[in-house]
Amino acid sequence: MVWLIGDKGMLGSEIARQLTENKIQWIGSDREVDITNSSELRKFASSHGPAANTTGLTVRKRKVPEKITWVINCAAYTAVDKSESEPDLAESLNAEGPLNIARVAREIGAKLIHISTDYVFNGNGKVPYTEEDPKDPIGVYGKTKAEGERQIEKEMTLYYIIRTAWLYGFDGKNFVYTMTKAMNTRDSVKVVNDQKGTPTCAVDLAEAIVKIIDSSDKAPFLFGKKSALPYGIYHFTNQGETTWFEFCNKIYEYGKKYGTITKDCVIEPCLTEDYPTDAKRPQYSVLSKDKIKMGLKIKIPSWEESLEKFIKSPRFEPK
Ligand SMILES: NC(=O)c1ccc[n+]([C@@H]2O[C@H](COP(=O)([O-])OP(=O)(O)OC[C@H]3O[C@@H](n4cnc5c(N)ncnc54)[C@H](OP(=O)(O)O)[C@@H]3O)[C@@H](O)[C@H]2O)c1
């Protein structure tokens, strides 16, 4: 059974949907089980696993709960700019939270899938970052997420850390929804054109996560060892690279095509320095996906293909 932490968030709710669709048993928690509080996490784990049945009595009619074998952590402090003025809160959610979760996962013998970010890199690169490239975050959010990765690596071995970037999904505030609303109400918008990265549809990322679980659970034993995806850090975004300006142009193009944008709007490119934010953003944050593509034997759709599917979906509902 899977324990999905952060199941009400943008990525978490998509994973929840896909776990159900794939008939994978799961239980979820969000704010009500605070990841910064280890005893709340332990209490939840023990009330939802076989450990709950510690009476020593034979329970005839009651179904003994299935063991939690996977923990997925999607809970995090994700407000990149706000984290600059709330570093302690960001640290407790993004670094102490993952440490607490890793501890509990290890105690109950479960494997952990934890979500991290391209912001662990400084963005000075010119070619896609690999999993082995050194971490060098430039802001509070990236620093705390990098620390969260370190805590997990120190605490346990049965983990997958998946770094993603520029995420959007059906259930949550994101760039695609924000720009769709803006272009439906304004005559012009200015969008940064000197930061490069790759948009990621939560549907595709959730599919990869479900595949990790499914392929590991079904992996055959070879020479006494399960031939599942090796544990460690992986990168997952859609394929290709773009800027926020080009991304916005595609949102406009598909929005016009599928009727989610109903008026004309001029999209103007601008520089990062013209649009000051509290947190510094990496200039280049394209991630190499070779490791996960080879390990899971998957093809990842281009960011344009996934964006088009997202915008034309009946689930598209700007928040
Ligand atoms: N969004 C992106 O562009 C992006 C890019 C790269 C990586 N990531 C990573 O991807 C993961 C998922 O991101 P997301 O955008 O889906 O996040 P999200 O929508 O903000 O979801 C996070 C969930 O965690 C909950 N939460 C907050 N504090 C908690 C606590 N103390 N205990 C338990 N749950 C708590 C949140 O509740 P509230 O809503 O009530 O706060 C929310 O439901 C995160 O690890 C993030 O760092 C995101």
Contact 135/121 with Cβ under 8 angstroms?
yes
Say whether 141 is catalytic. Answer: yes
Single-letter amino acid code for the residue at 142: G
Q: 204-242 in b/e burial notation, b at 16+ Cβ within 10 A?
A: bbbbbbbbbbebbeeeeeeeeeeebbeeebbbbbbbebb
Q: To which CATH superfamily is domain 2-174+198-241+284-302 assigned? A: NAD(P)-binding Rossmann-like Domain (3.40.50.720)
pLDDT for 275-300, tens place per residue?
889 999 999 999 999 999 999 999 99
Within 10 angstroms of residue 121's Cβ, the number of other Cβ atoms is 24
178 Cα to the center of ligand 1, angstroms: 17
pLDDT for 221-248, tens place per residue?
666 666 689 999 999 999 999 999 999 9
Residues 6 or more apart whose CB falls under 8 angstroms from that of 132 comprise none
Average pLDDT score over residue span 70-82: 97
Indicate which atom in ligand 1 lies nearest the CA of residue 36.
31
Contact 9/172 with Cβ under 8 angstroms?
yes
Domain boundaries, the chain: 2-174+198-241+284-302
pTM of the model: 0.94
pLDDT for 120-172, tens place per residue?
999 999 999 999 999 999 999 999 999 999 999 999 999 999 999 999 999 99
Tokens at 245, concatenated: 């300006």
Of 119, 129, 141, 177, which residue is the catalytic one?
141
- The protein residue whose alpha carbon is closest to atom 15 in ligand 1 is 10
Q: How confident is the model at residue 56 (pLDDT cuts 50, 70, 90)?
A: very low
Angstrom CA distances, 222 to 100, 215, 216, 293, 302, stand at 33, 14, 13, 22, 34
Q: Strand, coil or helix: what is 298?
A: coil
Indicate which atom in ligand 1 lies nearest the CA of residue 92.
31
